[in-house]
Amino acid sequence: MRKPIRTLSGILALALSLTNAHAASTSTSFQVTATVGTACTVSAANLDYGTYNPLALLPTSVTTTVTVQCTLLAAYTVGLSAGSGSGATVAVRKMTKGGDTLAYSLYQDAAHLLVWGDSIGTDTIAGVGTGLAVPHVVYGQIPALQNVNAGSYSDTIVVSVNY
pTM of the predicted protein model: 0.81
Buried b or exposed e, range 94-118, using 16+ CB within 10 angstroms: bbbeeeebbbbbbbbeeeeeebbbb
How far is the C-alpha of 131 from the C-alpha of 74, rounded, in Å?
A: 9
C-alpha neighbours within 13 Å on the C-beta side of residue 74: 22
pLDDT of 22 reads 66
Provide the CA 147 distance to its chain's centre, in angstroms: 39
Structural domains for the chain: 40-162 (2.60.40.1090)
pLDDT of 23 reads 83
Which of 160, 116, 146, 130 is closest to 69 using CA atoms? 130
For residue range 150-159, list pLDDT tens digits in order: 999 999 999 9
pLDDT of 159 reads 98
Region 105-129: mean pLDDT is 97
For residue range 9-51, list pLDDT tens digits in order: 555 555 555 555 568 999 999 999 999 999 999 999 999 999 9
For residue range 84-96, list pLDDT tens digits in order: 999 999 999 999 9
Q: What is the DSSP letter of 115?
A: B
Contact 133, 68 (CB under 8 A): yes
Percent over 90 (pLDDT), the chain: 86
